[in-house]
Amino acid sequence: MDNRGRCLFLYLTLLYLEFWFIIAVSGGTGEGFISIDCGQENSYEDPITGLSYVSDSDYIDTGENHKIPTDTKARDKQGYHLRSFPNGTRNCYRLQVVKDKKYLIRASFLYANYDGLNRLPQFDLYLDINLWKSIKFKVTIFYFTEILAFASRKWMFVCLVNIDLGTPFISSLELRPLDDDMYPLVMPNQTSVFFRRINIQPIKNEILRYPNDIYDRKWMPHISKYMETLSTALYIAPCIGCKYPASSDVLQTCGVPVANGSTINITQHWPFLNNNIRFRKIAFIIHYAEIESPPINDESRSYYLSTNTWNKPSGSYNYPSYLKSGSRYNTKPWSSTSDIFNFVLHKADNSTHPPILIEAMMEIKEFYKLNKNWQGRDPCAPKNFVWERVECNSNSSITSLNLASNGLYGEISTSLINLKQLKSLNLANNNLHGIIPDFLAKMPNLQFLNLSGNNLTGLIPIDLQQKPNLTLSVEGNPKLCYKLDECERNSSKKTVIAIFAVIFFL
């Protein structure tokens, strides 16, 4: 019952998530912004990013050039050529970088049976003397891995190491300098290998990168049936001087739980390869932004965060203001011995409660077979699209409902009881019958109640008659009474008539 109808959409504009694990390494060296198409002989401008790619011949002396079969389509142009290393255990690219700068380095691989052996090779990838990643493909896709490293010297070496499980190869190598303030966990003695960077619920199921992300980070689409997409076309100012800036394009779409959800649960499998389990540590960043206009009440958009590496949830955390973004991250990487990493964002209990309102409103609509344009996730927001004949306060609670002259037929719906902030209820000039329910007297904020022009019967609840500050209109309901004895007289008469009737028909 607790969670019934609770939705997060207004509060949980979780947008994208970035997390990686940390391995201890010593830094490399160098200078520049480098895009290398391995095995390619010519330079060209990449059709997707507009970036200039160059041949790898100036960066390495060993290995041989190959093309993938002509009938194979690669997602990126860099997939069509590759360099393989049949000879030597260790073959290294030499990359000139700027000393004391941080870099994102990305290596990509598309096997596509270029050697006709139909055997996916396994090999190790090193940055300088430190293992970056054990490369092991499950299928032949355009696979990439990223590492963040601090350049302690003028050179960085990216090396492919043969482990006797096939010929190492590489399709492209990219270096992207980062701002000094970014990724504070990247230090001379500490390098971070990206585990996954995901863009949650993008509109297009595509990787987002340069020029949308000025650092050319690749954001992988994450689309889940448990979430729906919220989006805005408006620019979301990136956080200036932030440790973890996210691009506006990433922030413009977000995932919210479908229907009744109050949680977002994101689970990533994070298998152990031959990285030593004891050294694996994890850091994460969650980016979020407020993209619903106008925000109901900044303070009320809050959430708790828990992961399977924490025992209890942290928070609650509030959302930033409209079209602003924020992020949450761990300042110290955690050790983790699980091969699953799971994030759960749960709506904070003190958030406002439009879902209950929606449910109540839908019940009212259903109850009276109303033909109202009551659509969307919240009766109250955004303000320009507040539901017909509904008024709300700044807390996104319904304060006024005017259903006068709407042909309502039936009794007074008990669903109204859920509209706790209701101040004004106008049900005049309908076809309501039955009694006036007691709960109206208990509605704490009710100040105006117009039931006139209906066909209501019986005693007007005494509590309602005496409710302080209530303006009550009941005229035009001939069968209502103010005092119990009046009602009893009239109803006993009815009883007599009924008995007559029964006898008559017998």
Ligand X SMILES: *[C@@H]1O[C@H](CO)[C@@H](O)[C@H](O)[C@H]1NC(C)=O
Residues that bind ligand X (CB under 6 A): 24, 62-64, 86-87, 187, 189-190, 259-260, 263, 265, 267, 299-300, 302, 316, 342, 344, 348, 350, 393-395, 404, 428-429, 431, 433, 450, 452-453, 455, 468-469, 471, 473, 479-481, 486-487, 490
**Which of 253, 306 has the CB closer to ligand X?**
306
Burial class (CB in 10 A: 0-12, 13-18, 19+), 8: buried
> Minimum distance from CB of 233 to ligand X (Å)?
27
**Which of 274, 350 has the CB closer to ligand X?**
350
> Minimum distance from CB of 80 to ligand X (Å)?
20
**Which of 207, 370 has the CB closer to ligand X?**
370
Cα separation of 9 and 223, whole Å?
16
**Which of 26, 212 has the CB closer to ligand X?**
26
Cα separation of 301 and 327, whole Å?
15
Instruction: Please give the structure tokens belonging to residue 505.
Output: 């028909």
> Minimum distance from CB of 73 to ligand X (Å)?
27
At residue 380, the 3 state secondary structure works out as coil
At residue 208, the 3 state secondary structure works out as strand
> Minimum distance from CB of 493 to ligand X (Å)?
7
> Minimum distance from CB of 306 to ligand X (Å)?
7
CB neighbour list of residue 502: distance below 8 Å, 6 or more residues apart: none
**Which of 174, 292 has the CB closer to ligand X?**
292
Cα 180 to chain centroid distance, Å, stands at 28
Residue with tokens 């949308």: 212
At residue 463, the 3 state secondary structure works out as helix
CB 133: neighbour CB atoms within 10 A? 20
> Minimum distance from CB of 402 to ligand X (Å)?
10
Cα separation of 37 and 42, whole Å?
9
> Minimum distance from CB of 32 to ligand X (Å)?
25
**Which of 52, 308 has the CB closer to ligand X?**
308
**Which of 61, 71 has the CB closer to ligand X?**
61
Cα separation of 407 and 427, whole Å?
10
Nearest to 215 by CA among 101, 79, 381: 101
> Minimum distance from CB of 58 to ligand X (Å)?
17
Strand boundaries in 128-171, DSSP class E: 130-136, 143-153, 155-165, 169-170
DSSP string, 45-69: E-TTT--EEEESTTT-SSSEEEE--
**Which of 36, 456 has the CB closer to ligand X?**
456
